[in-house]
Every structure is written in structure tokens, then in C-alpha cells.
Structure 1
Amino acid sequence: MKEALAHRTAAAEAAGAAAAAADTQAGCPALKSDSRLTPFTILTGGSRSAATVALLSDHSPDSKMIKNGHHHHHQVNTAAGKDAGTIPGTAACSPEKRRRRIRVWCDGCYDMVHYGHSNQLRQAKAMGDYLIVGVHTDSEIAKHKGPPVFTQAERYKMVRAIKWVDEVVEGAPYVTTLQTLDKYNCDFCVHGDDITLTVDGKDTYEEVKKSGRYRECKRTQGVSTTDLVGRMLLMTKAHHSNIDSSDYQQHTDNFGKKGHSPWTGVSQFLQTSQKIIQFASGQEPQPGDTIIYVAGAFDLFHIGHVDFLEAVHKLAEKPYIIVGLHFDQEVNRYKGKNYPIMNVHERTLSVLACRYVSEVVIGAPFAVTKDLLDHFKVDLVCHGKTEIYPDKDGSDPYAEPRREGILRTVDSVNSLTTDAIVQRIIKNRLLFEARNQKKEANEIAVIQAMKRQEEEKTKERAQAVL
């Protein structure tokens, strides 16, 4: 097997080299290939040992999706309609020498952005080359669904921070039309395998579906805004390790389970190594990089976290940011109540989706030790303006980086915290429950209509046979 793999790898490399040479000879610059190894790190707090899991990306059916490379080399183009189908540096190449880039459109509310949204955008990007995301205004969302949790400015910035997004269109129309796709030179739009309805119950993608410019991607099981709101209101720890507890299930029933809508209901998220690999960048630190370590819960990954990581990213010309995520039990020790709202597996994907993050340490030790700093060759340790909680024994978890003179306090000029988001939800609890019940009722009506339509078609086919 090893010989076969080596032979296949050598053949692939030879073919790639030949293709690059042919491109160069034809006057077209060769495209830089992605890294073939896709690592992530799990650091066990007890032994302080690190294990790297890697996969040859050409063995993965989703290998195309891991293409962002090193984050500080990636620039976001926010000018509408720019880069209309050409690869930078290849303008002189004819269509025969270099294929046109496929431009993909996605749109949505992107309220309370979570890894389910990120996974949808990851899948959409894999269907093409350049991803444009339209985000609706507060007034449009209020009209069709009810008031959003986050403001439009917060939502625009959150979507821009997702590493698969190339361009954001602010104030995109709620109903997706051919006119919108044409305006931004998009070949087709992509949406999850659920349904989005207008205030009068119409499919917002009806026009593009009829024209054949619609693609579908799989919805991420086990996460939804509905589910997260349910966890916040319930105030138990069931989601940390066992989502099947009776009290949790009883409460989440109010958010969609009883209505039997497969789109709004709550289901269980199961973490896999493949899912982490799909989200990871696969880029090792390069010579000249400044390795920066930050640690915390990063719960309900939000705009406050994004602003902090962006500020950290600006501290160096070539930053390589490693985020250490604490285990659920550790977070609950210093945060209390039912925190974290998202378990460590969910928080891992949320952080990995951020364009400013290069690597994630899953289950990082609470104290930033010399072993950890030496292992990752850390140049700088950063912390925000929020309170630094003491370790179990009352000691300062940042004592070692302080001693080495590499601890930096970073002011992101954004005071938003996970606590503040939870308070927004609790304050508008009845409003959110009513919104979700209305949304689900519309979805069930559509499902029933589709079922009746299918039954009628079946009857017609049966009669035709007779």
C-alpha cells in the first residue's frame, strides 16, 4: 500500500510539474498549489503532550475545500463586481489557456453566525472559485422573520471574517433574483437543503431555481440559531456532554421539535476528524512568521472575538495566530452558570472558520506554561481587556509569559461579550420564541404542500400506466 501511495504521489507531482511547465511556456503563470497536509493540534492538559493529525488532502473527497492557505496572505475584496471571472496575473491568457473563474453567490441573514453558516459557505466556495455573500439589512429581516439579534453592521463584519468569503454585499435583497446574480457576475447561487420563505410564504429562491442557476449544499446537523437560543434560555449544562437529557429536550421542543420541521428543529452535532480537517487551513508556520498565542473560551464566537483577533493580527507583518481553547469543564469552572453555551467541538469549528486564525489547540491548559510556549515557539502572548481569571490554586495563568516579557494586552475597542449576547436573547425571549414558531409553521405548510403535490404526480403517473 505504501509503495502504491508513493507511486501515485510521485505521478501526481510529476503531472503537476508538467502542467505548470506547459502553462509557463504558454505565457500563463502557474497556479500555486495548496498544502497537501492538513494538521490540527490536540493538546492534552494533563500530559502537556501534543499530537498532530494529518491527512493527505488528495485522499479526501473534500480536499478542494481546504484552500485558504496562510491567512495573512489572504486579502478580502469588498468592491462589488470586481474580479469578474479572471485569475490575478492571467489577464493575457486566452480562455483556452486558462479557464474562467466560477463566481458563486450566497445570501442570508447570518444572524448569530455559527459554524453551520461557515460550513455552508465552505461548501459553496468548493463549488466555484470566488464567493460573494449578500447579507440582508435589519429592516428586511424584521419584515420577513422578526428582529435580528445582531445589527447589520455586526453581521456584515462577522461574514467578512469567515475565511472562505471573498466579497460581501451589504443590504442584499431578501429574495434572490437573476438580476442580482447578473449584477455581480455570478454563475449560480448556493443554499442549504432547507427552505427560506418570504413574509407571504413564497420560496425566496424560486426564480433562480426555475432558471437552473441554483445549487444546494448539505445543512450542518446539530446546530442552528434556534438550538443556541434554547441553550441560553435553558441555563443547564446538558449540552456540554449529553444533549439527550430530558430537561434539555423538553425545552428545545418549544423551538421546533414538536412541529416536525426538519429545518428548524434541533438535532445532535457529532464531531468527526474529517470535519475538523475540512475547516483547518493546513498551513505550518513559515520562516519569518510571528507566532502569537491567545487562549480562552471563545464561546458563541462573535464580533467581539473577531475584533480582538483582527487587532492581534495587526501586531505583526506576518502573524501566525494560535488559539488555545479550554475544555468545557474548565470554562464552566471560571465562568459558572451553564457556560460554555457551545461545547469544545463546536467552538473549535467556529474559531477555525475565522480568517485571522492559523491553528487551534483543542483543550489547551488553563495556565500558559513554559512547555506550551517552547513547543509552539511562541513569540507573543496576547489577552484582551477582559478579566483574567485565576487558576484553580489562585495563581496567575499568565505568570510565565509575564516573566519572559512577551505578554501583551490588546484593546479591540469592542466591549461585546458572550454574557451581553445572552442578555440580548433573554431580554427578547418571547419575541424569539414567537418568531421561531411562526417560521416553523410556514415551513410545515410548505412541506405538506410539497407532499400533496408529489402524491398528485404519483396518481397521474399511475393513471397514465392504466
Structure 2
Amino acid sequence: MTEETKEEVRVWCDGCYDMVHFGHANSLRQAKALGDYLVVGVHTDAEITKHKGPPVFTQEERYKMVRGIKWVDEVVEGAPYVTTLETLDKHGCAFCVHGDDITMTADGVDTYHLVKSCGRYKEVERTAGVSTTDLVGRMLLMTRQHFRQGDSEYSVDREPSKSMGQDRTARSPWTGCSQFLPTTQKIIQFSDGKVPQPGDKIVYVAGAFDLFHVGHLDFLKEAKKEGDYLIVGLHTDPAVNRYKGSNYPIMNLHERVLSVLACKYVNEVVIGAPYEVTKELMEHFNVSVVCHGQTPIMPCENGSDPYAEPKLQNKFKPLNSGSDMTTERIVERIILHRLEFEDRNLKKEKKELAAYEAFVKSKSENIEMAG
């Protein structure tokens, strides 16, 4: 008697995936858990600009970033902004999954109204404390310009340490920045849980990996080719602040940990790794090769080379991933188009706030009618 083969459940997700962060990854992780095969549609630059405002990353960069997330099985380029039944059927997907925030077209129409009305829509919990709008807001605070706070103005110069990571102009219940609080459970959910096997060649890399981007992705892909098991050391916020400058990191250590763990090339993350790659660290993790990209290496606080030990052991290997993207370049993009992004953020928040107020009003009216 032959066993019945279980039919594969294909799940559809779509979005802009601009500045892919751990919030996007968490949504895709939850979506994948609802089925067997995850198809992700990514919108074009033209569609995003029309409905939302200019994206930070190009469509090619965004396609690549989504392909690099460990739960994604397939990427559909140029997916329509409004999700239709035809799209789901074309890609053999049983239903569509999205977070519990509202996404609308330029005309104020819910982009998921068609699949919702046919019962082919499922919702997952949005990750509190992070959004592309929030991250753009954090970078806008680095422009050293005046920003409006209610009816008054304040300057980033006045108290930069307090303003970083907190866009005080945010008013939307979905895009307003809140403090992200990590848990061991969340880290376990993001980790693949695999340990190195006997004989595995272990590769170690370390850095800030701030605003995880295509440059990081390309570098980690190359590093993974150097062995069987890739460990990424994430430097603490004070360490990054020392070698990157007063406005960095833009994302805190906990946020950076989840962003790196979501990458399909990464096996393990060392949270708060020491800046210097010591003999003890290499022995502890049984490291065979230590890699570093093309970015300059800042000396340790005592002036020594942080990679002196792996170089001494002939285990240091510089890599050229072919990408020239850096976190600083992303910030430059934001600052160059500061007014456009400020306008985008304010419009998005205003639209979402109006939709949220309408939702609350409708809910209270339904309760009254039921009563």
C-alpha cells in the first residue's frame, strides 16, 4: 500500500522589500511556517515610486536581498502592487500572507482587498520597533538639519545621542519607532540550529553589518565558499561607534544580530564579538580561515592589528566580493534625497493614521451594534 503524498502548500508574499531588515525577514519566516514553499513577489522601482515614493534601493538590489533570506524559495520580479487572484493562481499559491499593518495604493485602496474578499489572505504579526520608514527616519536625523517636532524645531546637533534611533516626527501607529526588545525565543526562531559537523572547515568573519545590505550579502556569499560553516562576529555598539564614528551604528546590536541570522549563508552569530580576533577565539570556534572584505581595517584601541593572530597562523584571507556598497553609501543616498524621503515618510504616516482611525471607528461601531 503506497503512502499518499501530501500536496505541497505554496505561499505567496509580496512587497517593496526596500532596505530589507529583520522585520521583513520575520514576516517571511512566519509566512513560510504556514506552508511548504514560499514565493515572494517584489515590486519595481516605478510601482513603488508611484504608490509610495522613491525606494532607497534599486529593484535589482532588492531582488538580490530577498533571494538572500533563508526562508525564501523563489522570487518573482516585478510583482503587481495590488495582489490579485490571477497572481496567486499563476504561481500556484493557495493564499497570500502579509503583516497586520495596512498597505495602500496611491488612491488609498487596500492592496490586498481582492484576495481578502475571496478568503485567500492570511495575516501574521508585524515586528514592532522596526520599519523602512523608521530606518530612513534614523538616517534623516544624521543630516544635521532641523526637523519639525510638533510646532517646534529641534536640531540633531543639540542632542545626537538621544535622537539616534528615534524619529520624533513619527505619528503612525505602525511606523512610529519603538524600542525593539529581543528575546531568546526570537533568536532561536531565526537561527538554523545546526552545529558544525566533524571535519567541517569553519570560516569566521566579523564586523558591524549595520543596515544589512547587498554589499554584506555578496561578502558573506564569498566567505561561505571558503568553508563549510560560516560564523559571523557582531561587534558591540560602542566598538562600532569607535571605528565608524559618532552617528553609528544606525541599528543596535540586537537588530543587527537578527538581520545577519536571516541571511541564508550564515550558520552562527557571535553576539558582541571582541574586536580583536584572538588565538583563544580561533581555538574556541575551531576556526580554519578568517576573512575580511575590502573596507579599511581600523586598529585596536592600543594601535595593534586586530587580525594579527590569524595572519600569524596564515589563516587570514582578504576577499573581494565585487560589491562597492557600504552603509555610508546608503546614508549618502538618503541625505542626497532628504526632502523626498521626508515627504515620503510624512505622507505614508498621514495615510496610515487616517486608515487606522477609520479602522478603530468601524470596530467601535460594530461593537455598539452588537451590544
Length-normalised TM-score, structure 2:
0.92
Amino acid at match of 1:178: L
CA offsets per residue over residues 146-174 of structure 1, 9 Å max, x none? 11000000000000000000000000000
Please list the CA deviations of residues 100-142 of structure 1 after superposition, one character each: whole Å capped at 9, or x if unmatched.
1211100000001100000000111111111110000000000
3-state SS of paired residue (1:156)? helix
1: CA distance, partners of 2:361 / 2:256: 41
- For 1:212, which of 119, 132, 142 is the aligned residue? 119
**1:454/1:101 Cα in 2 relative to 1: closer, same or farther (>3 Å)?**
same
1:274-353 mapped onto 2 (5 Å cutoff): 274-316=185-227, 319-353=228-262
Measure the CA separation in 2 of the matches of 1:356 and 1:246.
Answer: 35
> What does residue 252 of structure 1 align with?
167
How far 1:248 sits from its partner (Å)?
A: 5.3
Residue in structure 1 matching 2:318, options 397, 400, 409: 409
Does 2:39 correspond to 1:132? yes
Partner of 1:75: none
Deviation at 1:275, TM superposition (A): 0.8
One-letter code aligned to 1:140? E
User: CA 1:398/1:458 → structure 2, altered by over 3 Å: closer, same or farther?
Assistant: closer
Select 2:66's aligned residue among 149, 159, 167.
159
Counterpart code for 1:125: K
| Structure 2 residue corresponding to 1:232, chosen from 135, 139, 142 | 139
Provide the rounded CA distance (Å) in 1 between the counterparts of 2:365 and 2:92: 39
Change (3 A) 1:337 1:246: closer
Separation of aligned partners in 1, 2:263 and 2:167: 28
Residue 449 (structure 1) shift:
2.7
Q: Could you say if the C-alpha distance between residues 208 and 397 of structure 1 is closer, same or farther in structure 2, counting changes exceeding 3 Å? A: same
Separation in 2, partners of 1:146, 1:201: 14
- 3-state SS of the aligned residue for 1:379? strand
Query: What corresponds to 1:394 in structure 2?
Result: 303
| Equivalent residues, number | 355
Corresponding letter in the other structure for 1:286:
Q
Q: CA deviation at 1:364?
A: 0.9
Partner of 1:253: helix, strand, or coil? coil
Counterpart Cα distance in 2 of 1:247 and 1:381: 36
Counterpart in the other structure of 1:441: 350
Q: Give, in whole Å, the separation in 2 of the partners of 1:225 and 1:173.
A: 20
SS of residue paired to 1:168: strand
Inter-partner Cα distance in structure 2 for 1:126 and 1:166 = 12
Point out 4+ residue stretches in structure 1 off by more than 6 angstroms.
Answer: none
Letter in 2 for 1:284: V
Tell me whether 1:108 sits opposite 2:108 in the alignment: no
C-alpha displacement at 1:314, in angstroms? 2.3
Indicate the residue corresponding to 1:173 in structure 2: 80
CA contact (8 A) 1:235 1:337 kept: no
- Distance in 2 separating the partners of 1:415 and 1:169: 25
Deviation at 1:454, TM superposition (A): 3.5
Q: Distance in 1 between matches of 2:178 and 2:301?
A: 35
Query: Counterpart of 2:362 in structure 1: which amino acid?
Result: Q
Give the aligned partner of residue 50 of structure 2: 143
| Residue pair 2:164, 2:247 contacting (<8 A) in 1 also | no
Q: List runs of 5+ in structure 2 lacking aligned partners.
A: 144-160
| Cα deviation 1:388-440 (Å, max 9, x = unaligned) | 11011111111111111111111000011001011111111111111111112
Distance 1:262 1:218 in 2: 14
Worse-matched range after superposition: 431-440 or 132-141: 431-440
C-alpha contact (below 8 Å) 2:278/2:309 kept by paired residues: yes
In structure 2, distance between residues paired with 1:456 and 1:353: 41
Deviations 1:22-47 (A, max 9, x none): xxxx56xxxxxxxxxxxxxxxxxxxx
Percent identical among aligned pairs is 65
User: In structure 1, what residue type is equivalent to 2:293?
Assistant: G
1:276 to partner: Cα distance: 0.6
- 1:68-83 to structure 2, matched below 5 A, reads none
Q: Which SS does the other structure have where 2:167 is aligned?
A: helix
The 1-side partners of 2:163 and 2:204 are apart by: 38
* Larger Rg, first or second structure (1 or 2): 1
1:104–1:124 contact (8 Å) kept in structure 2: yes
The unaligned stretches of length 5 or more in structure 1 are 1-25, 28-92, 237-244
Report if aligned partners of 1:385, 1:411 keep a CA contact under 8 Å in 2: yes
AA paired with 2:74? E
Under a length normalisation based on structure 1, what TM-score does the superposition of the two structures give? Answer: 0.73
Could you tell me how far 1:228 is from its partner in structure 2? Answer: 1.4
C-alpha deviation, 1:212, in angstroms? 0.5
Q: Does 1:373 align with 2:282?
A: yes
SS of match in other structure, 1:285:
coil
Corresponding position of 1:31: none
SS of 1:107's equivalent in the other structure is strand
For residue 124 of structure 1, what is the amino acid of its counterpart? A
Task: Indicate conservation of the 8 Å contact 1:103/1:187, yes or no.
Answer: yes
Tell me, what secondary structure is at the counterpart of 2:69? coil
SS of the counterpart of 2:53? coil
**Residue-by-residue CA offset, 1:337-366 (whole Å, 9 max, x unaligned):** 211111111110000000000000011111
Q: Does 1:119 align with 2:34?
A: no
Write out per-residue CA displacement over residues 205-243 of structure 1, whole angstroms, 9 at most, x where no aligned residue: 00100111100000101111122122222249xxxxxxx
